[in-house]
Amino acid sequence: MSDAPEQPQVYLITPSEFELSTFPDQLAACLDQTEVACVRLSLGTKDETRIAKAADALREVTHARDVALVIDSHIMMVERLGLDGVHLLDAAKSVIKTRKELGEDAIVGAFCGTSSHEGMTAGEMGADYVSFGPIGKSPLGTGEQAGRDLFEWWSMMIEVPVVAEGALDAELIKSFAPHTDFFGIGDEIWRTDNPAKALADLTAAMIL
């Protein structure tokens, strides 16, 4: 698209589980070393107290560095926890309702798997961005991958920013970099001994 950034930006995804005693410092180290556009709180738990405590801790880290913080799915917790928006996991289904609930200033993103139709619908309904994935091979889900052709088409035809996420590596990032606005990076770095270095290494692969 004509107003695409010169190179993609980092969209950082938290692990599904983490220790509150250590993870905020790990996140801070990543944000201090690499420019990050947005952080997504992606906890697997449905324990409201745990989610709230995690959100409070991460909000202090992200907002101190002028980085947006969104949360997976939990629309009702966005305003209460002082977050910047929500990442919807049901493609285009909840976009209109969520936008109405949170207002125009909130970030509303939609994960649309490998479906360009769902992505277009989400964008038309007011999503600020659409994400597709997994990009790499994953044993999770159906095994279907979001191919580079989807991103090539999207970048030429659609103005809504797009995120590439799921099972990324440096080679895939280099291949997809000309055709995406953001890379959603998460477990790719958190499972390493030095997440900040791993993030810097993957970010280097984004340079066009």
Query: What are the structural domains of the chain?
Result: 9-204 (3.20.20.70)
pLDDT of residue 206: 96
pLDDT of residue 1: 32
CA distance 70 to 68: 7
What is the residue-wise DSSP string for 15-59?
-SS--TTTHHHHHHHHHHHS-EEEEEE------HHHHHHHHHHHH
pLDDT of residue 140: 76
CB-count exposure of residue 157 (10 Å: 0-12, 13-18, 19+): exposed
pLDDT of residue 4: 45
The answer to whether 60 touches 36, Cβ cutoff 8 Å, is: no
pLDDT of residue 174: 97
Confidence (pTM): 0.95
The answer to whether 195 touches 189, Cβ cutoff 8 Å, is: yes
Mean pLDDT per segment of 10 residues, for the chain of length 208 residues? 67 98 98 98 96 98 98 96 98 97 97 97 98 92 92 97 98 97 98 98 95
Amino acid at 93: K
Cβ contacts of 26 within 8 Å, gap of 6 or more: 190, 195, 196
pLDDT of residue 202: 98
| Rounded-to-10 torsion of CA 161, 166, 170, 174 | -30
pLDDT of residue 127: 98
Rg from Cα positions in the chain:
16
Q: What proportions of the chain, in percent to the nearest 5, are helix, strand and coil?
A: 40, 20, 45
